[in-house]
Amino acid sequence: MRLRHLALLLCLSLPLAAHAAETPAEHAANVYAAQELAANPLHSNIPDYSLSPADLVKSQHLGKIHETLHFVDEIWGIVSLLLLLGLGGIAWMRDIAVKVSKYRWIQCWIFLLLFNLISVLVELPIDLYTQHLSRVYGLSVQSWPSWFGDQGKAFGLSWHFGLLIVMLLFWIIRKLPNRWWLAFWVVSIPIVLASIFVAPYINLLFDKFEPLQLHHPELIAQLEQVVAKGHMDIPPDRMFLMKASEKVTTLNAYVTGFGASKRVVVWDTSLTKGTPDEVLFIFGHESGHYVLGHIVSTIIFTLGILFVMLYLGFRFVQWAIAKYGASWRIASQNDWAALAVLLLAFSIFSLFLEPITASYSRAHEHAADVYGQEAIHGLVADPQSTAQKAFDVLGTSGFSDPNPNPFYEFWTYDHPALGRRAAFAHAYNPWAPGMEPKYFKK
Q: What is the mean pLDDT of residues 227-237?
A: 83
Bridge partners (DSSP) of residue 46 are: 49
User: What's the N-to-C CA distance of the chain in angstroms?
Assistant: 48
Angle at which helices 418-427 and 383-398 pack, to 10 degrees? 170
Higher pLDDT, residue 307 or 440: 307
Q: What is the mean pLDDT of residues 143-158?
A: 96
| Domain annotation covers residue 26 | yes
**Rounded distance between C-alpha atoms, residue 117 and residue 163, angstroms:** 14
410-436 pLDDT, tens digit each:
999 999 999 999 999 999 999 999 899
328-346 pLDDT, tens digit each:
999 999 999 999 999 999 9
- Give the CA angle between residues 118, 196, 3 to the nearest 5°: 90
Exposed e or buried b per residue across 157-195, where buried means at least 16 C-beta atoms within 10 angstroms of its C-beta = eeeeebbebbbebbebbeeeeeebbbbbbeebeeeeeee
**Rounded distance between C-alpha atoms, residue 400 and residue 380, angstroms:** 26
Least confident of 73-87, 194-208, 232-246, 410-424: 232-246
Give 321's pLDDT tier (boundaries 50, 70, 90): very high
Which residues, including other chains, have CB under 8 Å from residue 300's CB and lie 6 or more apart? 14
| Domain annotation covers residue 38 | yes
Would you state the pLDDT for residue 309? Answer: 96
199-228 pLDDT, tens digit each:
999 999 999 999 988 888 888 888 888 888
Would you state the pLDDT for residue 209? Answer: 95
**Rounded distance between C-alpha atoms, residue 76 and residue 69, angstroms:** 10
Give 9's pLDDT tier (boundaries 50, 70, 90): low
Average predicted confidence (pLDDT) for the chain: 92
Would you state the pLDDT for residue 104? Answer: 95
* pLDDT(305) > 60: yes
| Domain annotation covers residue 435 | no
Q: What is the mean pLDDT of residues 264-279?
A: 91
Q: According to the 3-state scheme, what is the secondary structure of the chain?
A: CHHHHHHHHHHHHHHHHHCCCCCHHHHHHHHHHHHHHHCCCCCCCECCECCCHHHHHHHHHHHHHHHHHHHHHHHHHHHHHHHHHHCCHHHHHHHHHHHHCCCHHHHHHHHHHHHHHHHHHHHHHHHHHHHHHHHHCCCECCCHHHHHHHHHHHHHHHHHHHHHHHHHHHHHHHHCCCCHHHHHHHHHHHHHHHHHHHHHHHHCCCCCEEEHHHHCHHHHHHHHHHHHHCCCCCCHHHEEEECHHHCECCCCEEEECCHHHCEEEEEHHHHHHCCHHHHHHHHHHHHHHHHCCHHHHHHHHHHHHHHHHHHHHHHHHHHHHHHHHHHHCCCCCCCCCHHHHHHHHHHHHHHHHHHHHHHHHHHHHHHHHHHHHHHCECCECCHHHHHHHHHHHHHHHHCCCCCCCHHHHHHHCCCCCHHHHHHHHHHCCCCCCCCCCCCCCC
| Domain annotation covers residue 434 | no
Give 262's pLDDT tier (boundaries 50, 70, 90): confident
| Domain annotation covers residue 441 | no
Give 144's pLDDT tier (boundaries 50, 70, 90): very high
Range of the domain at 164: 2-427
Number of domains in the chain: 1
Of 368, 370, 425, 358, the closest CA to residue 393 belongs to 425
| Domain annotation covers residue 73 | yes
Give 15's pLDDT tier (boundaries 50, 70, 90): low
Least confident of 28-42, 124-138, 216-230: 216-230
Which residues, including other chains, have CB under 8 Å from residue 207's CB and lie 6 or more apart? 242, 243, 244, 246, 247
Would you state the pLDDT for residue 233? Answer: 78
| Domain annotation covers residue 191 | yes
350-398 pLDDT, tens digit each:
999 999 999 999 999 999 999 999 999 999 999 999 999 999 999 999 9
| Domain annotation covers residue 132 | yes
Higher pLDDT, residue 296 or 232: 296
Q: What is the pTM of this model?
A: 0.90
Would you state the pLDDT for residue 1? Answer: 47
